[in-house]
Amino acid sequence: MLAAVLAIVGCALLGGGVQLVLLGGSIYYVPAGLAVLASALFSWRGDRRAIWAYVIMLAASMAWSLWECGLDLWGLQARLAAPAVLGFWVCWPALRARPLCSMAGTLLICAAAWFAIAKTYQGERFPFPSRLAAASVGPPDPTASASRWLNYGNDPGGSRYSTASLITPANVDRLQLAWTAHTGDMGPALGFEATPLMVDDTLYLCSPTNIIMALDADTGKARWVFDPHSRLPPTRTCRGVAYYKAPGADGQCAERILFATVDARLMAVDALDGRPCRDFGQNGAIDLWRGMGRAQLGYYLVTSAPTIVDGNVIVGGWVADGQYVGEPSGVVRAYGAATGRFAWAWDMDRPHEHGEPSPGRSYSRGTANSWAPMSGDETLHLVFLPTGNSTPDYWGAHRSAASETYGSSVVALDSRTGELRWSFQTTHHDLWDYDVASQPTLVDLPIGGAVVPALIQPTKRGQVFVLDRRNGHPLTPVRELPAPQRPSPGDFLAPTQPFSTGMPAFDDTRLSEAGMWGATPLDQLWCRIKFRQARYDGPLTPPGLGPTVTYPSYAGGINWGGVSIDPVRRLMTVNWNRLGNYTRLVPRAEADAMGIVPSNDGGAHVGSPVAQKGTPFALSTGPFLSPLAMPCTPPPFGRIAVVDLDTRRLLWSRPLGTTGYSGPFGLPLRVPLPIGVPNSGGSIMTRSGLTFIAASQDRKIRAFDSLTGKILWQAPLPAGGNATPMTYVTAASKRQYLVIAAGGNAILRSGSSDTIMAFALPSTRHAE
């Protein structure tokens, strides 16, 4: 049996090694395969030279591994862990004869592994300035702002910062589950991504199918439930709702909850009893299909919470990726929050037309859209839109001039009129699905001796841009650097791309064959071959007729979870993914032969080809994974860090999440190795110096010390907390709660649940 196993491994190493050498790759696998085959032959004969052949191969592998990846823990694991385990079987006759030596060697290996894992889990910490070292919590904040969470990101600028400070670094380890609630909505959604609002001791949230719930903030018991009976497309996501109190109003719907649905309606219900506000639109609803022209259910919907600025409720929309040229418009519209009356529209192809289209016309089709959370500044009368690109995503010669200008950008509009005030593009002629997925985050920063109203825009590229929100001018250095060229036939590329050189990059990894990863040397070899077969010219390698590697992937970098900011200490928490895509453009004739046609319902393209009808090519793209369904790009696959916004340097950085619920073929290892796992969701920061985040694939919520990165508390969740948490203090109990939607995510395989969970300090000692 041993000889058979060694023969299979040796043949795989030798065959794959020869293929890799022919592609110009490492020669290591050829002699390694020969050595393993020699060990197999000796084993078959019962010859103890099998041990020597294998030990020599193992020693040479260790030397090669140290030369190729140094002391990188996960690089060494990929190259040596599986061969070492197999080596115990090969060497068992010798080890059995010397049990004390074998035990000592095993303990030494375990101790070295434990030390390396502990060092990796701790991450990197850097000295922080004296102003932060002297930072203190102070007394608990009794103001109303500590007790509320009025917007998706708490404040209109999306800081995700709370002045609530009853939970501190000193007592956070005593957090315990206070209550749970269930939405009853367990459909095949991409995820339960809602961040609740908290107003007057009531939580307001939405399920993936837009069931709206009002919960008692102290107990989680439902006060009312409203079901809009949405028609359900494949994409079912609702990240939040909006709250509006009309100035001077009283009676029915003086306070209202506004939300949009997955079948494209904008609705308003009374915040007190959940009844539709009949004075809003038509009996409480506005049909967002109006002016969109021909469109199918599932091709246009609203996933993010509406944004309210200057009395207008403003919505963009998600548009299906990659299906055909001329998909629904990316128009952004505003309606009176009190009446539902149409206020304005921003149709980028018709920049001076802010009204609704006349009968028989529609908003411009196929324009770049804005699906991510927006933010607003009522002092400047601006609403800030993060934009995607014009579909299809990976071939762009057909795009309009306006989509070329405003796609993959942050755009500032006058919140009262819809007039364009400024825009800043984060990726030129985007062919990588690098739509701006993160909410623009507003913060005032001391720069050049003055306090400047700033906007921080994270991106899927891992670039974070700091702009003056009055005019869009960069406040930290941005350079246009040369980008890879050689576009696909009929398309073109921007000669340069913007890089935020004045801020840390999340991240600036440049892939290589030696950097390919795998759970074992065999799937690492497979990844190295696939990498050598593909084109990779560094960041922003364009898609082509042959396979290409894109890093970061379309999942980011930084996705819709965005960043959180402590405006007092001027700190920013960032969580991001470190994954790649494997992409190929499929010629139209080949696509037609394969039967690749546009989706009937706008279904998401995760690993399956999409038509891109109307262009010369269909598209095949998806995560760059090994045959074991493990990433080919190196760990950690997810990280979290805090940046000092004064010095623009990292305070600390560490892997986010463990392998508890992941492993080969998607099977959970149940061994919490600190490898850092993919994440989806955001963080919050508090006045007491805490950063809370779930987001990771491993179904936990954690509290970090914002200054040091030390994990101070963590708790298990029934499914991934792939949302952004929130916190508040109730007037009735004076307790501070931490709330997370633990619904899981189908793409991350982080389970599925309909659970809202609230954590608090023990009720008898909550104020200590």
* 215 Cβ contact partners less than 8 Å away, ≥ 6 residues apart: 181, 196, 202, 203, 205, 221, 222, 223, 756
| Cα dihedral across residues 590, 593, 594, 595: positive or negative | positive
List strand residue ranges (DSSP E) for 461-518, in order.
464-468, 479-482, 496-499
Report the DSSP pairing between strands 375-377 and 265-270.
unpaired
Altogether, the residues listed in the chain come to a count of: 768
Return the structure tokens found at 52: 């020597």
- The tokens 């020669």 sit on which residue? 27
> Phi, psi at residue 569, to the nearest 5°?
-80, -15
Sheet bearing 563-566, strands edge to edge: 124-125, 649-655, 638-644, 571-577, 563-566
What end-to-end distance do the CA atoms of the chain give, in Å?
A: 63
What letters, b where the CB count within 10 A reaches 16 and e where it falls short, cover 409-425?
Answer: bbbbbbbbbbeebbbbb
Using alpha carbons, select from 331, 486, 325, 489 the residue that is nearest to residue 399.
325
Type of residue found at 183: T
- Taking a C-beta distance cutoff of 8 angstroms, is the pair 755, 191 a contact? no
Catalytic residues: 433
Containing 22, the helix (H) or strand (E) segment is helix 2-22
Cα(241)–Cα(666) distance, rounded to whole angstroms? 33
Instruction: Collapse the DSSP code of 75 into the 3-class scheme (helix H, G, I; strand E, B; otherwise coil) and give the result.
Output: helix
Cα(693)–Cα(740) distance, rounded to whole angstroms? 9
- The tokens 């020597």 sit on which residue? 52
Cα(244)–Cα(307) distance, rounded to whole angstroms? 10
Measured at the CA of 288, the angle between CA 556 and CA 300, to 5 degrees, comes to 35
Return the structure tokens found at 389: 């690109």
> Phi, psi at residue 14, to the nearest 5°?
-70, -50
Containing 21, the helix (H) or strand (E) segment is helix 2-22
Return the structure tokens found at 173: 């380890």
| Cα dihedral across residues 724, 725, 730, 736: positive or negative | negative
Cα(404)–Cα(494) distance, rounded to whole angstroms? 11
Residue 377's DSSP bridge partners are 382
Q: What DSSP assignment string belongs to 263-313?
A: TSEEEEEETTT--B-TTTTBTTEEETTTT--S--TTSEE--SPPEEETTEE
111 burial type by CB count under 10 A (0-12 exposed, 13-18 middle, 19+ buried): exposed
Cβ count near 495 (within 10 Å): 10
Cα(365)–Cα(300) distance, rounded to whole angstroms? 12
Measured at the CA of 711, the angle between CA 708 and CA 715, to 5 degrees, comes to 155
Return the structure tokens found at 4: 């058979």
Cα(158)–Cα(738) distance, rounded to whole angstroms? 18
- Taking a C-beta distance cutoff of 8 angstroms, is the pair 367, 346 a contact? no
- The tokens 């509406």 sit on which residue? 306
- Taking a C-beta distance cutoff of 8 angstroms, is the pair 573, 564 a contact? yes
Nearest-10 crossing angle of helices 29-45, 521-533: 150
* 631 Cβ contact partners less than 8 Å away, ≥ 6 residues apart: 517, 579, 580, 623, 624, 625, 637
